[in-house]
Structure 1
Amino acid sequence: MAALIGREPEVEALREVLARAAAGQSGLVLVSGDAGVGKTRLTTEIIEGARGGWTVLAGQCAELGESVPYLPLAEALRGGGPAVAERLRARPVLGRLLPDGTDGDGAGPVQQQLFGAVLGLLAELAEERPVLLVLEDLHWADASTRHLLTFLSRFLQRDRVAVIGTYRSDDLHRRHPLRPVVAELLRQPTVTAVEVRPFEAAETAGYLATLGGTSPEEAARIHARSEGNAFYAGELFDAGDDLPTGLVDLLLAKVERLSDDAQQVVRVASVAGQRIDDSMLREMSELEEDRCERALRELVSHRLLEPHGEGYVFRHALLREAVYGDLLPGENTRLHAAFAACLVGRGRPAELAYHSLAAHDLPRAFAASVEAGREAIRIGAPNEAHVHYDRALALWERVPGPAEAAGTDRVHLALQAVTAEALSGEVRRAVHRLETLRDLLRGGRSGAEPDPLLLTEVLERLAYYLSDLDRDDESVVVARESIEVLPADPPTPQRARALATYVRSVIFSDEYGDFEDRAAEAVAAGRASGALDAEASTLVTLGIYHESLTSEKEGMDLFARAYRLGRDLGDPEVYLRAAYSYARGHFDRGDLDAAREAIDKTVEEAASAGLMWSGYGLSIRCLQLLVAYTIGDWKSAETYAEGFPVRAATTGEAQVSAYALFLDVARGAPVVEERLRWMDRLNLDHDDEGPFLIYMSGGLAAEHAAWSGDHAAALRHARRALDALPSLSLTPRIRVDAVALGALADLGDGADPEAAEAFLAEARHSASLTLSGEPRNWLGGEGRAWLARAEAEYLRGRGEDTPEAWRAVAEAFDYGFRYEKARSQWRLADVLLRNDLREEAESAWREAAETATDLGAAPLLGVLTELGGRAGFLTAAPVLPVLTARENEVLRLLAEGRSNRDIAAALFISPKTASVHVSNILGKLGVSTRTEAAARFLRP
């Protein structure tokens, strides 16, 4: 391979990203530049340099529009070698992408399952050696590939993986679908932009020298004509004098110098795309074997085609575009038709649809589009699926016998398109289309009554998606209509699923008078009609209903039954929902060991199913972090949090980032401010999931502000969280009410007594409602503890708190919530001291200090140290002999949570000297953080 000319800065930038990735810091590079400027040559240089010690996976997009999903990923996996092939056998969802992949069970995974499988594959490969994934020509990428790129950019965190994507910057017009993706990616700190610029004059001369060399005058002329474009310069060098200046004319002039056979073969190849199989090219050229062989050799020797695997690729996409654009209209249609005929039974349906549509063969394009949609669902590409289905629906009236060709009627095909649209995240659009379908069916055709089975299916899906958008009241109305359309006898799968969706909607609304009767009917109908998915879904909903209303054990038993049924059905969404509910039930009741055992098992199953980033997959991971945080296993919680992005760009990412805040706030981590800033940028007030996220982030922002001493800000954050939280989310409100009461108490004389009365009344009201037996609400151990905290904070604000009040809080959190118990013991020690109960105060203080030290809860450790200093408890801590007298003084202040500037002011030294003392202390104690040093002071 010839030397790379003039790309030192670009190479250095790429190698930097690879070096960081090899050290465990994943990164993405977007390489941009005009067509022909040298992007592929640059990436080839990086690939060749990495082959010795890296696993290299490389794939290329093709100019087939949105037709073939995950094309570059499939090519990368196919060329990954034995290490990848072996791991694909354990991930059949990825194996389906390959041309010879298995059909699987036909059910089709959701897109998140495939994304999770890709992430798991890359992480597993990276355990052995760093991984370089190259995706070229992203300006032609399908929507699913674009989504995958965005997903990897956010969730590849500490794996030894580097991703390089290339695209033509000159192709990115204002409405190009890649344009917003690039803008979004470049906002992330792990994404690097590398622009491949045109050659300078000296670099063009150097490049031409690698091709054989020319005079300085000729090099200058070529540089002027090529404007520094490497590909164009090479073509001008090959062509010689007196040629047109336009690139297309130049390329076509090169083709015209070929023999007739070679021209015929290259025209055929241009219709196939950037790549073409050798056997298909020979077949389509319609030349005798020896003539075709000579033509191929001529094309390779003239550097138009290059051997690639079992076929050929154009040396540059511009060559293919020029040849394809020069085809006569009739020639274009004839060749596409020939390709379509050749692909029947041997190619991907999406390719067949593409060529058939270009050949104006509408019946074949219609049938292939339907099949392409189904294949896209099967391989987890709902974005492309609804594009194919929509194309088929647009052709419905223009082809003979569409129902027979599609194997379904028009409404069911439209339902498949709607389902694909919802799976791709376009739930609002899916709702709009279902409302249109509903109105169409209600109106009937030629005065005929609507088909009740079809109408029930449409209404059931509409109710389901309305519930997903939290439009619960509308969902109940539509779901009720869906079960009234069909008679109860005979039982049908459609009615069973409609009943299951009805009870799912009702449980989240204010009306559930007929809930139990309808749920029993749903289970019976599901069993009788074979719709076991409806039965399993209903069992989960019944569990939610019964766990608080009648019997905790009955609710947990129902979750277990639903889980087993979902596993038997092989429906991961059903059994993950059931498993999540089962683990959450244990957690809500304070059975933390059982919750952790259940959740860890469920996380493993979600990972094996490739659903770590699906809706319930994310909920399960958040619960896993919350359980570890609660029981005090903060090392595990930190590991889980590392996989949660800080710079949230979607509400899903904001959700997991909010859960990571529990740990970050309690540890006083600097990342808290950054997490909160990125959540604020999402404009959550105008998002369907905004209220929950505002509650989560607002409540934790309030705690963070309180630890920072800004109690007015803490109160503002708490108020915003409470305003956003739906009134039915009763137990969570108690926690935020308690935080607000704490902020009011800390404000002292500036507090609002009426506000305190209101917060306490709301907390008590929420508790009374949860104790009244309403479904979905349960005042478990944590809820009772937060209510006790609210009562104690209210009394503290009035100057009337007592040891009994704070003992009750500490005892309530003693079910296993180590951090909150220690925080309560801090307040207990303080009030005990004020009541001259010194011995008990010291006991509570020491237990709290030990817990805060073990956990690394820096803010709590700071206030405990300050309290211990005032009470004289710290005098029991001996001076550390390894430190000087001055260093012991610095350590004492450091343990109080003081900054270097505060330490300097207290000891009348400079901040720089204080910093030197702190560094010396960390080194002498053999610790790496200020919190660990403070822990040594409290427990030498």
Structure 2
Amino acid sequence: MTGTALIGRSAEFGVLTGALEGAAAGDARVVLVSGDAGVGKSHLVGAVRAAASRTPAPDGCTVLVGQCAELGESMPYLPLADALWTGVRADPRVAEAVRARPVLARLLPDGDGGPGAASELGQQQLFGAVLGLLGELGAERPVLLVLEDLHWADRSTRHLLTFLSRVLERERVCLVGTYRSDDLHRRHPLRPVVAELVRLPNVAAVELRPFGPAETAAYLAALAGGGAAPSSDVVERVHRRSEGNPFYAGELFSAARDGRELPAGLADLLLARVDGLSEDARRVVRVAAVAGRRVDDELVRRVSGLAEGAAGEALREVVSDQVLVPDGDGYAFRHALLGEAVYTDLLPGERTRLHAAFAALLKEAFNGEVSGRAAAALAHHSLASHDLRTALAASVRAGREADQVGAPDEAHDHYDQALELWDAVPGAAEAADAERIEVELAAVRAAARAGDTRRAVARLRRLVEVADPADARLGSRLRERLAYHLSDLDAEEERESVEVARAAVEMLPAEPPTVERAEALATYTRSLLAIEGYPAVLEPAERTIAAARAAGAVSAEASALITLAIHHEHVGDPSLVQGMFERARELAAGVGDVLVVARAAFHRARWPFDNGDLDAASAAVAEDMAYATRYGLGFSPYGIVLRTLQLLIEYTRGDWERAAEIAAGFGVRATRSVEAQVSSFALFLDVARGDGATVRERLRWMEPLLPMDTLNTYISQSLAAEHALWQGDAADGARLAARALAALEPHEVAVLRLAATALWAQADLAARARAAHDDAAEERAVRAADALLDAARTAATTNIGGHARERLGLEAVAWLRRAEAEHARARGTDEPAQWEAVVEAFTYGADGFVYEVARSRWRLAESLAERGLREEAAAVWEPAVAAAERLGAAPLLAALRDLGTRARLGGDGPAPGGGPFAALTAREREVLKLVADGHGNKEIAAALFISPKTASVHVSNILAKLAVASRTQAAALAHKHGL
């Protein structure tokens, strides 16, 4: 394609510009553009980039463009680094925003990837930093981020693409990715990514198809420019030979115009353009093909062996003939297909020699400690030129560089490649400047950081088997790491982790103190907590702390302090708990152990939350969220757990505006368990506010993921049960609550809240059955309620490992009281005193659990009203209404107003309005509404707290006042006038 003309692409251009306009309005969009090689993807995106520089904002958009390269998986985040580098040089705002984020600045060619840069959470830090950068830039003007040639993308770039597609919602960002559809074979790694992303509502797919005959004719006419339009014979021949591919059509038309003979194959067609060049120019083109991406003047001169003047002339020739085109600081092939054809045409020896020449130049830079991606490129060229020793050394260095920029997948692959070469390279340890075990453990760390815990475990199991049994320190270290990662897997592996960690401890003597033994003790104690419960960890935790202090193992001491604090929380001295969490966080932060900081931070906010000090919990979690954001960890597992805890704290305190701000960042669409987790916590607010549409949408996205995550099942289904109960569907509420209960262990304290919800459902079912005199249904509901109360009491008294639970948190006690009161309601024996106990139990902190206090007052007012204690009921009802109104708790407010109407807690004034119902009293209007809903006298009596006889009298009066003969006619009149 040529110039700015967009032939046959107006619809596709409209989709892209529409996405850009949507992003400018605050609705982030992603567009994936696909098509065969040469079909015009880059030209289309170029037109969109030109449009973005003018519209939709007065000053245009910030445009960032990066390209992938055909270098395998060796260079992580290559298109992101490319986009940042060009953006930094072109726009001072981009430069300032990138430099303010060190994790992004490390991606630049002059970035500092020092040895301390790697972190356990490097990739999440980088993802958070990219999101923050785009959000910051988008606040000033819309951002167009283009990632080209994603079929060559590395795994980290694919992960980043997936992350941004999921979390970008309200940012003014339009992300456009291009890829070759003809390259996506069945096992291509981009294929499942695309299949997953196109399911998201903010992702659009644009497929460019080949030209039709008319479009080819228009395209050739545009190529001809001011010259004579091509004849119909030429158009037909070019279209047939090119099969509508614009790039091939242009090459065929150019050859025909130049009088060149048209070769039989398309590869020959492409090479024909090169064959017409001078020998020096052909040498330059071959060098560019082996470079694989951009080349600059210096690389061309040194690798080609040409003198400076000759190299300059050759470059001028190939640029003039449009084989290479200027691209940033260097030159690139006008089309990747041309570069591929040249590379494929090289003789094996010629290809090896050129790769060796590139490797020699990079090796020179590598030995000079040049940072950036020199090591990955050196490994690539050395392997291609069969220099295994250099390839091994460069692979180790490339793994470290990938670690430092938060690309654990690529880091693992580099270390893995080095280990594959190890036995083939004499003096491998000297070449790598590392012992084999160091590289093996680096590969383990990279696998764990990439989230592939099972791959890390598999490597460690093999290392344990082959390690020298005489090296006790190494054996202990390997087993400690194995135990640590096993504890993050399933229950069976958790039990194994205790035995493996115990073996790690026993391999080393207590004296002299060593860091390895202290870390093994810390892991053993952590594993023991999950399997054998709180009493079992007291002595090991104290022993670990003493050993860690003696050895100077600060992270091990911090980890053991957390475990010891959890012990005291449940079965020891609770006055020690908060201080231990604070100290553990301080120690871990001092040595930069972010994972232990995360664990301590969560517990130091959770502890006051569980014990009713909601203001302290709010302050603690806000401080740690600021820490997470500052270090780019907002979307790490640590950041996500803190966000969900922060939402719960603000929800409990009654600051629902703040809770809504937090929930707004959670998103509704979930395609992974971690996304379902944050979405499920947002349901607390959605259900309580009665946002039925959002509740249904969240649950629809979560449903396919529930079998993979018990936490998501528990939270989402328990809140789905509440939503069903607010809708009046007690049977569905009972079903959903039972599903949530099945996801929990009997000793888990979460059973208490869930049992209370399930008992609400059974109490409603039992009450309706009693009103309908359905004894069998009532008995079923009561039996179910009995079992649920037993489950609640078991959870309240039993701990991990079957130990007796010594204490419950304040909220847990409140839920137990709620469960007991709902159980009594199911049996028809509840008393106001029981609901008073529930209100009192939820009244902790400055204002208590605001929503649950109001919800408990609803039931207390109802119980009082049933006994004719209207004044007492009104005194409880009024503050509950005020709280529900302030919170925006629509379902609770509707229930309270319904109770106020039925029990006449809000006054008995005359019925408002005129029309056919003017003669009816307020009470008679209430009765008529129930008649219109098909209720009989017994049901009306139960709903309005009156006797069936009184209900019958009201119905007779209504029929007389309305001058109708039957209940059916009265109901019809009510419906007609919208009563």
Residue of structure 1 equivalent to 2:419? 393
* Secondary structure at 2:532 match in 1: coil
1:478-502, CA deviations, whole angstroms, 9 ceiling, x for partnerless residues?
1111111111122222212111111
Aligned CA distance change for structure 1 residues 172 and 775 (closer, same or farther; 3 Å): farther
Asked if 1:619 corresponds to 2:641, the answer is yes
Residue of structure 2 equivalent to 1:732? 750
Asked if the contact 2:533–2:800 (Cα under 8 Å) also holds between the matched residues in 1, the reply is: no
Aligned CA distance change for structure 1 residues 36 and 875 (closer, same or farther; 3 Å): farther
How far off its partner does 1:850 sit?
1.6
How far off its partner does 1:433 sit?
2.3
Asked if the contact 2:533–2:799 (Cα under 8 Å) also holds between the matched residues in 1, the reply is: no
* Secondary structure at 2:65 match in 1: strand
Asked if the contact 2:216–2:239 (Cα under 8 Å) also holds between the matched residues in 1, the reply is: yes
Residue of structure 1 equivalent to 2:957? none
1:303-336, CA deviations, whole angstroms, 9 ceiling, x for partnerless residues?
1111112111111110110000001000111111
Q: Which residue of 866, 869, 883 corresponds with 1:834? A: 866
Asked if 1:94 corresponds to 2:104, the answer is yes
Residue of structure 2 equivalent to 1:781? 810
Separation in 2 of the partners of 1:776 and 1:203? 77
Residue of structure 2 equivalent to 1:4? 6
Asked if 1:597 corresponds to 2:623, the answer is no
Aligned CA distance change for structure 1 residues 791 and 910 (closer, same or farther; 3 Å): closer
Q: Which moved more, 1:25-34 or 1:212-221?
A: 212-221
How far off its partner does 1:429 sit?
2.2
Q: Which moved more, 1:59-68 or 1:91-100?
A: 91-100
Asked if the contact 1:507–1:776 (Cα under 8 Å) also holds between the matched residues in 2, the reply is: no
Separation in 1 of the partners of 2:210 and 2:631? 46
Q: Which residue of 515, 539, 542 corresponds with 1:493? A: 515
How far off its partner does 1:66 sit?
0.4
Asked if the contact 1:55–1:129 (Cα under 8 Å) also holds between the matched residues in 2, the reply is: yes
1:164-563 equivalences in 2 (<5 Å): 164-213=176-225, 214-217=229-232, 218-240=234-256, 242-344=261-363, 345=366, 346=370, 348-441=374-467, 444=468, 449-471=469-491, 472-510=494-532, 515-563=537-585
Residue of structure 2 equivalent to 1:43? 45
Amino acid of the structure 1 residue aligned with 2:345: D
Amino acid of the structure 2 residue aligned with 1:90: A
How far off its partner does 1:707 sit?
1.5
Q: Which residue of 146, 154, 162 corresponds with 2:174? A: 162
Separation in 1 of the partners of 2:268 and 2:578? 74
Residue of structure 2 equivalent to 1:60? 67
How far off its partner does 1:514 sit?
5.7
Separation in 1 of the partners of 2:732 and 2:933? 23
How far off its partner does 1:548 sit?
2.9
Separation in 1 of the partners of 2:618 and 2:155? 38
How far off its partner does 1:22 sit?
0.9
Amino acid of the structure 1 residue aligned with 2:487: S
Separation in 1 of the partners of 2:925 and 2:519? 62
How far off its partner does 1:474 sit?
1.5
Separation in 2 of the partners of 1:892 and 1:173? 72
Q: Which residue of 879, 882, 888 corresponds with 1:847? A: 879
Separation in 1 of the partners of 2:164 and 2:282? 42
Asked if 1:677 corresponds to 2:695, the answer is no
Asked if the contact 1:544–1:775 (Cα under 8 Å) also holds between the matched residues in 2, the reply is: no
Asked if the contact 1:21–1:161 (Cα under 8 Å) also holds between the matched residues in 2, the reply is: yes
How far off its partner does 1:895 sit?
14
How far off its partner does 1:224 sit?
1.8
Asked if the contact 2:870–2:905 (Cα under 8 Å) also holds between the matched residues in 1, the reply is: no
Asked if the contact 2:356–2:382 (Cα under 8 Å) also holds between the matched residues in 1, the reply is: yes
Amino acid of the structure 2 residue aligned with 1:251: L
How far off its partner does 1:105 sit?
5.4
Residue of structure 2 equivalent to 1:931? none
Aligned CA distance change for structure 1 residues 122 and 708 (closer, same or farther; 3 Å): same
Residue of structure 2 equivalent to 1:759? 788
Amino acid of the structure 2 residue aligned with 1:187: R
Q: Which moved more, 1:344-353 or 1:152-161?
A: 344-353
| TM-score under structure 2 length normalisation | 0.88
Separation in 1 of the partners of 2:190 and 2:856? 52
Q: Which moved more, 1:141-150 or 1:623-632?
A: 623-632
Residue of structure 1 equivalent to 2:147? 135
Residue of structure 1 equivalent to 2:833? 804
Q: Which residue of 78, 83, 89 corresponds with 2:93? A: 83
Aligned CA distance change for structure 1 residues 894 and 135 (closer, same or farther; 3 Å): farther
Q: Which residue of 21, 24, 40 corresponds with 1:22? A: 24
Aligned CA distance change for structure 1 residues 771 and 593 (closer, same or farther; 3 Å): farther
Amino acid of the structure 2 residue aligned with 1:156: L
Separation in 1 of the partners of 2:643 and 2:832? 38
Q: Which residue of 737, 743, 747 corresponds with 2:761? A: 743
Asked if 1:793 corresponds to 2:838, the answer is no
Residue of structure 2 equivalent to 1:585? 607
Separation in 1 of the partners of 2:143 and 2:909? 51
* Secondary structure at 1:714 match in 2: helix
Aligned CA distance change for structure 1 residues 133 and 672 (closer, same or farther; 3 Å): same
Amino acid of the structure 2 residue aligned with 1:150: T
Q: Which moved more, 1:60-69 or 1:752-761?
A: 752-761
* Secondary structure at 1:360 match in 2: coil
* Secondary structure at 1:276 match in 2: coil
Aligned CA distance change for structure 1 residues 403 and 513 (closer, same or farther; 3 Å): farther
| TM-score under structure 1 length normalisation | 0.91
How far off its partner does 1:35 sit?
0.4
Amino acid of the structure 1 residue aligned with 2:794: H
Aligned CA distance change for structure 1 residues 420 and 772 (closer, same or farther; 3 Å): closer
Runs of 5+ unmatched residues, structure 1: 918-940
How far off its partner does 1:861 sit?
1.7
Aligned CA distance change for structure 1 residues 895 and 721 (closer, same or farther; 3 Å): farther
How far off its partner does 1:539 sit?
1.9
Runs of 5+ unmatched residues, structure 2: 55-59, 770-776, 935-969
Greater C-alpha radius of gyration = 2
1:632-686, CA deviations, whole angstroms, 9 ceiling, x for partnerless residues?
111221121121132211111111111111111112211112222222212x33x
How far off its partner does 1:235 sit?
1.0
How far off its partner does 1:107 sit?
4.3
Aligned CA distance change for structure 1 residues 248 and 662 (closer, same or farther; 3 Å): same
Residue of structure 1 equivalent to 2:953? none
Aligned CA distance change for structure 1 residues 54 and 2 (closer, same or farther; 3 Å): closer
Asked if the contact 2:534–2:567 (Cα under 8 Å) also holds between the matched residues in 1, the reply is: no
Amino acid of the structure 2 residue aligned with 1:63: E
Amino acid of the structure 2 residue aligned with 1:412: E
Aligned CA distance change for structure 1 residues 8 and 543 (closer, same or farther; 3 Å): same
Asked if the contact 1:549–1:773 (Cα under 8 Å) also holds between the matched residues in 2, the reply is: no
Q: Which residue of 33, 36, 43 corresponds with 1:31? A: 33
Separation in 2 of the partners of 1:861 and 1:691? 32
1:807-838, CA deviations, whole angstroms, 9 ceiling, x for partnerless residues?
11111112221111111111111111011110
Separation in 1 of the partners of 2:974 and 2:285? 80
Separation in 2 of the partners of 1:771 and 1:651? 25
* Secondary structure at 2:108 match in 1: coil
Amino acid of the structure 2 residue aligned with 1:94: L
Q: Which moved more, 1:849-858 or 1:255-264?
A: 849-858
1:880-936, CA deviations, whole angstroms, 9 ceiling, x for partnerless residues?
99x99999x9x999999x9xx999x9896999x97xx9xxxxxxxxxxxxxxxxxxx
* Secondary structure at 2:742 match in 1: helix
